Structure 1
Amino acid sequence: MFKITTILSLSLLLVLITGSRVFAQQQIYNYSQYADNLTSVNSAYSMLDKAGSVSVLGRKQFIGIDGAPSSLMFNANFPVESINSAAGIYVLNDQAAVEHQIEFNAFFAKGIQLTQTSYLAVALNAGIRNYVGNYSQLDASDPQFMNDVRETKPNIGFGVMLYSARYYLGLSVPEFTIRSLGTASEQQANYLRTHYYFTGAYLADVSDDVKFKPATLVSYLNGSPVLANVSGTLYLKEQLGVGLNYRTDKKAAAMLSVIGKAFRVGYSYQFGTSSNNLGGININTHEVSISYRFGNVTENKLL
C-alpha cells in the first residue's frame, strides 16, 4: 500500500511538471454529472425549472494523496416568474497541488415562448476569477518554477438555450476573457482564456415506468483539442437514475442518482479507459452532488 501511494504521489508531481500547468491544459466544467448541473456552464439552463434550487457538486481525484486535484461547485437559482426570468449565483473552487483557482459569478436569465411547447432562454453572467500558482514550492532553483503566479480577472459570459419539456440545446461562453492582468504569460494563463460550450439532451419514454436521457457536453478552448462528453441515463419510476458517461480524452464514468421532488443525490465514479489505465494505476475520480428544490415543486426534475 505504501509503495502504491508513493507511486501515485510521484505520478501527480510528474503531471504537474511535464504538463507545465494543470489548469492550463484542462477544460473547466467537465464533470460527469453535467446533464443535471448545467447552470455554471450555461446560465440559461436555470429557466428549465420553475422551482428554486440550491446545489453542491464536489470532485476528488487520487483519494488519500495530498495535493490531489479537487473541485467544489455551489449553485443557487431563484425564479422570477412574474417576468419569466431567473437569477442566481454560482461559485467554483478548484485545487491541484500548488495551484488554486476560485471564481464567483452572478447571473440573470430571461425566457421567451417561441411555440406552444418550445422556448428560448438568454442569460448573462458576470463575476471575478482569481488564480494562485505557488510554483516555487515545487523547486525554487528551477527557472521554470521559481516564479509564483497571481492572477485576478473580471469575468463576463453569456448563454442561449432552446428548450421544451423534452429537450434542450444550448451554446454558451461562461468565461469570456476581457483583458490580461498580472504577470502570467499567455501560456500560463490558459485557465483564464475563453471557453466555448455546446450542450444538448433529450428525455424519451421507454415505458410507463422507464425514461431514457441521452446528453452531450462539447467544450472547446483555442489551441486545445475539442473535448466531448456523451452520456446516457435510465430513470426508473422517475426516482432512480443509472447512467454511463464517456469522454473523448479516454475517460468513462458510471453514475447513480436518487431523485425526489425536493431532494436529489448523485454519485459518479470516473476512470481511465486507455491501455495504460486498465490493469495499471488508474486516475479515478469520485464525484458527489446534492441538490434541494423549493417553491414551485410539482414533479421530479429529470431534464
Structure 2
Amino acid sequence: MKLNISQMVKRHKSVGQAVLVLLSVLTTASVQGQTQQFSYTQYMDNLTPLNPAYSLLDKAGSVSMLGRKEWVGIDGAPTTFLFNGNLPIANIDAAAGLNVLNDEFAIERQTEVNAYFAKAIQLGPQAYLGVSLNAGIRNYVANYSQLAASDPVFATDVRQTKPNVGFGVMYYTDWYYLGISAPELTFTSLGTASVQNSNNFVAHYYFSGALITNIDDDFKFKPATLFTYASGVPLVADFSGTFYLKETLGLGVDYRTNNEMAGIITINVSSFHIGYSYQFGTSSNNLGGANIPTHEVTLSYRFGKASGNNKLL
C-alpha cells in the first residue's frame, strides 16, 4: 500500500491533527482492530464493565458513569464515556444490569450496549462463586474518507455492527476476589460455522484480583491487579495499591506495563463515590519531555437497603 503521508499531513493545520492522521494511517496500514481494548485506570473501584460477576459483591443497587480523556489539547484525541447500572435480585442471590460504552479516537468510534445477568453460588460460610452472562450489540465506524477523500486508499468508510456475547466468573469472599472474564465474544468468533469477515471485533480476556487488609481501625489497604489480553496484542498488566482513611478518602497509584502510571484519589460520601485519576507515561521518551496526560473522572451512586454499607471491593 503506497501512501503519500506528507501530503496528508499538510492538509491539517495543527501538529496535533497531523499526529492523529499518522496514527490513523498506521492503524490502517497494519491490521484493523488489533489495538488493545479500552481499559480504564479506576478498575479497582468498579470492575463490572469488564466482569459483570463483580456486581454480585455489592448487595445495593448502583449507577456509575466514567469519562476518560486522553491527550488533552489535541483535537480528535481518544475520548471515552462508560455507563453501567446494577440491580440486585436478593431472593436468588443474583444481579442484573446494563453496560454502555462509547469510545472515540480521531476517525474511529466504537459503541457497545450489553445487558447482563449474574448469579452467585455459595461455596462456604463466606465464600462464593459468581457466574455472569452478557449479550448485546457492538457497532464500529471508521470514517477513513475524512483523512483524504481523493485518495482511493481511504475512499471507503467502515460501518460494521455485530451481536456480542460474553461471560464472567469470579470467586470471592468478604476480603478478596479472583476473576476471569471475556465480555466481548462476537458470534463470528465462536466457531467455524461462520466466516470471520471482520478484524474490528476481537475477543478480549481479563484476569483480575484484589484483597482488602485492615492496617488499623481507621486505615485499610487494597492492592489490585488486572491483566488484559487480546489475540495479536501484547499482554498488558495493571498493578495498583490504594490506602483508605475511614473508608471515606482513598489515595492510590496504578502502574501499567505499557509504561503508564496514574495517581488516583477517591471520596466516598454517604451513597456517592467520586474518583479522579491522572495518568502519564513513564518511558524515557516521556519523562523530561513531551508527556500528554490522561484525565479520568468517575461518579457512582448506590441505593437500596444495603447502600449504607460502604463497598470497597
Q: TM-score scaled to structure 2, two decimals?
A: 0.89
Are 1:102 and 1:130, in contact at CA under 8 Å, matched by a contact in 2?
A: yes
Deviation at 1:11, TM superposition (A): 2.2
- In the aligned structure 1, how far is the partner of 2:179 from the partner of 2:202? 20
- In the aligned structure 2, how far is the partner of 1:164 from the partner of 1:264? 22
Asked whether 1:194 is paired with 2:181, we answer no
* Cα deviation 1:17-55 (Å, max 9, x = unaligned): 223379824322411001112111001000000000000
Among candidates 125, 135, 149, match of residue 134 of structure 2: 125
Among candidates 294, 297, 300, match of residue 307 of structure 2: 297
Aligned positions of 1:64-75 closer than 5 A: 64-75=73-84
Q: Give structure 1 stretches of 5+ with no counterpart.
A: none
Q: From the superposition, tell whether residues 22 and 236 of structure 1 become closer, same or farther in structure 2 (CA, over 3 Å).
A: farther
- In the aligned structure 2, how far is the partner of 1:291 from the partner of 1:282? 30
Aligned positions of 1:269-288 closer than 5 A: 269-288=278-297
- In the aligned structure 2, how far is the partner of 1:171 from the partner of 1:94? 23
- In the aligned structure 1, how far is the partner of 2:202 from the partner of 2:284? 32
Are 1:38 and 1:45, in contact at CA under 8 Å, matched by a contact in 2?
A: yes
Let me know the Cα RMSD of the aligned residues: 1.9
Deviation at 1:191, TM superposition (A): 4.0
What is the total number of aligned residue pairs between the two structures?
A: 294
Aligned positions of 1:103-182 closer than 5 A: 103-179=112-188
- In the aligned structure 2, how far is the partner of 1:44 from the partner of 1:154? 21
- In the aligned structure 2, how far is the partner of 1:49 from the partner of 1:156? 23
Partner residue of 1:226? 235
Q: Give structure 2 stretches of 5+ with no counterpart.
A: 1-12, 190-194
Name the amino acid aligned to 2:96: A
Asked whether 1:26 is paired with 2:35, we answer yes
Asked whether 1:267 is paired with 2:269, we answer no
3-state SS, counterpart of residue 14 of structure 1: helix
Deviation at 1:186, TM superposition (A): 7.1
- In the aligned structure 2, how far is the partner of 1:235 from the partner of 1:144? 53
* Cα deviation 1:62-84 (Å, max 9, x = unaligned): 22322111000000000000111
3-state SS, counterpart of residue 19 of structure 1: helix
Name the amino acid aligned to 1:121: G
- In the aligned structure 2, how far is the partner of 1:37 from the partner of 1:128? 22
- My pick for the range that moved more, 211-220 or 17-26, is 17-26
3-state SS, counterpart of residue 308 of structure 2: coil
Deviation at 1:8, TM superposition (A): 3.1
* Cα deviation 1:246-294 (Å, max 9, x = unaligned): 1111111000000124000000011111111112221311000000000
Among candidates 200, 208, 221, match of residue 212 of structure 1: 221
Q: From the superposition, tell whether residues 23 and 281 of structure 1 become closer, same or farther in structure 2 (CA, over 3 Å).
A: farther
Between structure 1 and structure 2, the one with the greater Rg is: 2
Deviation at 1:158, TM superposition (A): 0.4
Asked whether 1:7 is paired with 2:15, we answer yes
